[in-house]
Structure 1
């Protein structure tokens, strides 16, 4: 199958509301495309198989939290889809918490305003840190979530460093 790429600013109906709001004020949004997909293909492995995409051509965004002195600290972590997020060592250290774990799905979707399996670094809550693995930035054309399971965003990887609040982290992603 081939992805039909459309300018994302022309199709706000294909992204979650917080994503649309973030894109409308982001100068780099003119370089972002959106493609409608079957929601059953939103998960990385299914998407890559259906669209014959290599595993390193996509990025996943996971939400992690931990506590220190009664304060919850939350970060969205973006790593290439052929890697896994270094939650137990690097993210834990960056958040300065004793234990880091994935934010429960219900909270992640409710607080982000995005669907599970479609959470994206664009349009996240401002109080969340955004950690982006440096290897994502080297991809000329990366596929990420759109906030909805029924579409994907496509953009030059380097643009993820320009998302407001993004922190580029070396080796945030580890080999699977």
Structure 2
């Protein structure tokens, strides 16, 4: 199974190397609605971590020091917008979050060339804590405003961008 995945991965990489990035500049893509603030915690030794967690739990709580963790942008739409923009594609992100989420979207996406004018900040920030163990992850997510994002979230400017 890993061999099949390795072969597929190599075929995708070979195909991507054949792309002429200049041909992507004419594309216009609108992505929505999911932006998450991801907190990634990378740990080694799942069984060892479980033993340590059980000890902390049994004593009524406490801290397990972890030095390999970081905050980053998450959400399929947001990450796709960022990466397409890096390839020269005109990208627009439309979503709903809170004020902090709006600032984070500008920090992570706008600096990469993504148009974020369609971001509304009258909602709730979507957040995920992802605990990674030796290449596997367990995610704890609060979908925030992504959970109830619908057509009624669009304003006239959003519809114009989508239709152009």
TM-score by shorter chain over 0.5: no
Which one has the bigger helix percentage? 2
Larger Rg: 2
Q: Normalised by the size of structure 2, how large is the TM-score? A: 0.24
Q: Normalising by structure 1, what TM-score?
A: 0.23
